[in-house]
Structure 1
Amino acid sequence: MDIFYSLVRIVKVFATVCHFYLKLSFIYIARWYEPGLRTKGEYNHSIVVLGDDHALGVGDYSTLTAGSGIAQKLGRELAKEVSIRQTWQIYNRGAYKTSSEDWLHPADSKRKEKPELLSKVLQDPKFLRAEIVIIMLGSCDVLRKDPAISPQETVRNLELICQAIKKTGNQSKSIYLCTIPTAGDDTYLTQEQMEDNLLRNQLIEAYIKKNDDGVRQGLQIDLASNFEMKRRNLYWQDGRHFSDTGYTKMAKDWVPLIRPDMVKREFQLYRSDLGM
């Protein structure tokens, strides 16, 4: 009987792992369709979401043709906004299990094998035209062991990434930097690692307030800064990644945050077109 129950447990674990990677495959395939297109006028704008699992949309509901995460959900929410009158395309450029070190510009990295994620995005014409960049990155840094990434190094990496983005493409782009989600930390991390993540978020907020690089405050999606993120239904079954409900909530929270920026950019385009 014990052998039978052991086999059942093995089958369940195998099925869960297969389900997870099937969902992950769907997320990457759906990115080819570039979800988030909303058409209201002849003028075109774009938003890029980049970062780790949380930017990619791990834990969200996904199919082969339906996008996931903030990129897809935000597009759906913006479609309801009467104050947004032009076309906004939202691109998902998240990458699974990536650290802030993996997103450094090659020139800023000390690794022998230079990271290529950011350089590839910076070469993308879609990104070069982007007017708004949303960064959700740093939650995987605490798990890096060889070499380890300290909270100070995380924030320094984020600074370098923001600076590299500012210098590339549309010079007037807005960069919104989110805090690091901390749901599930008490389950998966040691006490020291939990304290490191708390410090990471404090340093991120201090960097944004300093505002030397013109980086704007994105959503505060950690448990310490935002009590609304403590609801269990906002997270997937692992308790760490956001669920469909969680991404939908964040998309709704993003709208009032970036709407003034979007409306201002639409008005500037109207004025430029009219020669005002």
Structure 2
Amino acid sequence: MGRFSLGRAIIIGIISIGIASAARAEDDSKLIQKVKTKWRAQSGEAAEEIIAKVSKVAHFVPRGWEVARSDDRDESVVFSWARRKTDKADDEFTFAWDVAKDGKLTLGPPYAKPLELGWQAFALSLIGTEVSEDVVGANRRFLHDPTNLNFVTTPQGKLGDLLRAGRCTIGDPVGVDYLPKLDESQTARGNLWRVQISVDCNIPGPRYYTRDGIIIFEMKEGQGWEPQSLFAKRIASNPPGSWFDRPDPKEREIFDVSRRIYEGEGLPSRNLQSPFPR
């Protein structure tokens, strides 16, 4: 091959690489745009809406979007973020939407799944983690605002509104988490969102509930929120002001069983606060 033929081949090769790169960049842009336009949280919000709102209340600095491909041509749209503007790339966090061949979008990993509930749920999950990790300047005011829990709905109304009507203040910790089921043989509960908080309520009632009362709600994918703790069940079943109007025989049975377990293990039963007289 002559000198000019070799040069021409090199030029053609460079042009081909450039064309391929441009085509790949265009494909990436389309895939990212698909996530931005097609994916929606249960609240109806788009990903960019949630990202913009969360960045105003949490240590959440958006970094950018990119596409990742595996050897078997699986595609994912990856979003990266950092807690501070000065953080280096090694300190970044990511979550991603896996894009199936049929177009279905699946968000992960588990820490990002509260995003599917809307911006407040995702912000609460991030800020709750900040508090547990002693991040300086965590937005506790947002964390303890009952209205930010209104994404949890009950037969009596939205959880945050019910807590305000019940004169309840939220303490630490505040947990908004997604619990994955690792495999089908797993016997523990999984593939669900869990909201767990502790509250002090300035209302008449058993101290077990009104001081550091535990409220837990869970929601499986495709279903509604279900109360799990005793206090949550009272909130879901009775309007504010009448949470403790009627005794529940099942509660007494639960406490009696728990007391026997405590005493059987040699633990002082006084550590198990009960709303019932012995």
- Larger strand proportion, structure 1 or 2? 2
Normalised to the residue count of structure 1, the TM-score between the two structures is 0.25
- Larger helix proportion, structure 1 or 2? 1
